[in-house]
Chain A
Amino acid sequence: MPISPLSRRAAAAVPLLASAVLLTACGSGGGSGDDDASGRPEGGITFQTWNLRSNFKDYFEGLIGEFEKQNPDVKVKWLDQPADNYAEKLGADAGAGTLPDVVNVSPDLSYPLAKAGTLLNLDREKAAARYKDEYTPEAWQGNTLPGLDGAYAFPWYLNTGPLFYNKALFRQAGLDPEKPPKTYDELFATATALARKSGGKTATLAGTPSIEDFGRYGVRLMNADATKFTYNEPRGVELLGKYKELYGIGGLDTQALTNTADTSGQKFLEQKVAINPGSAHDLDTFKKNAPALYKELGITDAPNNNGKPNMYVMGLAVSKQSRHKAAAVAFAHFVTDRGNQEGFAHKVAVFPSTKGSLDDAYWTKDDGTDEGRVRVASAKILKGAVNYTPVVMSEEMKVILKNEVAKALQGKKSPEQALDDAVAQSDKLLGQG
Chain B
Amino acid sequence: MTRAPGWEKALRYLLMLVVLGVTVGPFLWQLSTSFKGASEDIYTYPPGFLPEHPTLGNYSGVARVVPVWDYALNSLKVALASVATNLVGASLAGYALARLRFRGRRVAVLAFVVALLVPLESIVIAQFTMMRDLRLNNTLVAVVLPGAVGALNVLLMRNAFANLPFEVEEAAVIDGANVWQRFLRIALPSVRGTLAVVAIFSFMGAWDDFLWPLIVLSDPDRFTLTVGLNYLHGTFQQNPRLVAAGTIIAVAPLVVMFACLQRYFFRGVGEGAVKG
B231 CB, nearest partner CB in chain A, Å: 4
Closest beta carbon of chain A to B88's beta carbon, Å = 28
Q: A98-B218, A271-B45, A272-B45 are in contact. Are A51 and B231 (CB under 8 A)?
A: yes
> Cβ of A82 and Cβ of B236 under 8 Å apart?
no
**Nearest Cβ distance between residue B32 and chain A, in whole angstroms?**
15
Q: Interface with A: B107-115, B150-158, B200-208, B209-217, which one?
A: B209-217
CB pair A290–B43 under 8 Å, yes or no, is yes
B132 to chain A, nearest CB (A): 5
A305-349 interface with B by 8 A CB criterion? 348-349
| Contact B235 A83, beta carbon cutoff 8 Å | yes
In the complex, the answer to whether A54 meets B232 with C-beta atoms within 8 Å is yes
A185 within 8 A of B: no
Question: A89 at interface (Cβ–Cβ under 8 A)?
Answer: yes
Pick from A51, A85, A270, A292: contact of B234, CB below 8 A. A51
- How many chain-A residues does the 8 Å CB contact rule pick out? 47
Residues of A265-304 at the interface with B, using a CB-CB cut-off of 8 Å, are: 266, 269-272, 279, 281-282, 284-285, 288-293
Assess whether B133 is interfacial by the CB under 8 Å rule: yes
Q: Are A293 and B235 in contact (CB under 8 A)?
A: no
Q: Are A82 and B227 interface neighbours, CB within 8 A?
A: yes
Instruction: Give the residue of A54, A272, A279 whose beta carbon is less than 8 angstroms from that of B231.
Output: A54
Contacts of A272 in B (CB 8 A): 45
Contact B230 A83 (CB under 8 A): yes
**A55 lies within 8 A of B232 (CB):** no
Question: Is B193 on the interface with A (CB-CB < 8 A)?
Answer: no
B23 interface hit (Cβ, 8 Å): no
A349 surroundings in chain B (CB, below 8 A)? 236
| CB-CB under 8 A for A82 and B126, given A88-B215, A272-B45 | no
Name B174-226 residues within 8 Å CB distance of A: 210-211, 214-215, 218-220
Q: Is the CB of B66 within 8 A of A54?
A: yes
Determine if B125 and A55 form an interchain contact, defined as CB atoms under 8 angstroms apart.
no
B220 touches A80 (CB 8 A): yes
Shortest Cβ distance from A395 into chain B, in angstroms? 15
A211 within 8 A of B: no
Task: Using CB atoms, name the residue of chain B closest to A78.
Answer: B220
Contacts of B220 in A (CB 8 A): 53, 79-80
Report chain B residues within 8 Å CB of A100: 218
Please tell me if A261 contacts chain B, counting CB pairs below 8 Å: no
CB pair A291 B41 closer than 8 Å: yes
Q: How far is the CA of A82 from the CA of B42 in the complex (A)?
A: 24
Complex alpha-carbon distance, A95 and B133, angstroms: 13
Contacts of A292 in B (CB 8 A): 41, 44
Smallest Cβ-Cβ distance to B231: which chain A residue: A54
Q: Which chain A positions have C-beta within 8 A of B237?
A: 281-282, 284-285, 288
Q: A91 interface residue, CB < 8 Å from B?
A: yes
Nearest Cβ on chain B to A373's Cβ, whole angstroms:
18
Q: A84 to B126, Cβ gap below 8 A? A: no
Report chain A residues within 8 Å CB of B210: 84-85
Complex formed: what's the CA distance from A50 to B220 in Å? 12
Chain A residues within 8 Å of B230, by CB: 82-84
B238 touching A92, Cβ below 8 Å: no
Bound complex: CA of A279 vs CA of B234, how far in Å? Answer: 14
The answer to whether B41 touches A290 (Cβ under 8 A) is yes
The residue in chain A whose Cβ has the minimal distance to the Cβ of B236 is A281
- Per-residue CB contact flags for chain A residues 108-141 toward chain B (1 = under 8 Å, else 0) read 0000000000000000000000000000000000
22 pairs of residues in contact across A and B, judged by CB atoms under 8 Å: A17-B129, A25-B129, A50-B235, A52-B235, A53-B220, A55-B235, A80-B220, A82-B214, A83-B231, A83-B234, A85-B211, A89-B215, A92-B124, A95-B129, A96-B132, A266-B43, A279-B236, A281-B237, A282-B237, A289-B41, A292-B44, A293-B41
Q: Which 5 A-B pairs have the closest CB atoms?
A: A82-B230, A269-B43, A54-B231, A83-B233, A281-B236
Seen from chain B, the residues whose Cβ lies within 8 Å of a Cβ on chain A are 38-39, 41-45, 65-66, 124-126, 128-129, 132-133, 137, 210-211, 214-215, 218-220, 227-228, 230-240
Additional pairs, 5, CB under 8 Å, beyond known A52-B235, A85-B211, A89-B214: A21-B125, A55-B234, A79-B220, A82-B230, A83-B235
A contact residues vs B (CB 8 Å cutoff): 17, 20-21, 24-25, 46, 50-55, 79-85, 88-89, 91-93, 95-96, 98, 100, 266, 269-272, 279, 281-282, 284-285, 288-293, 348-350
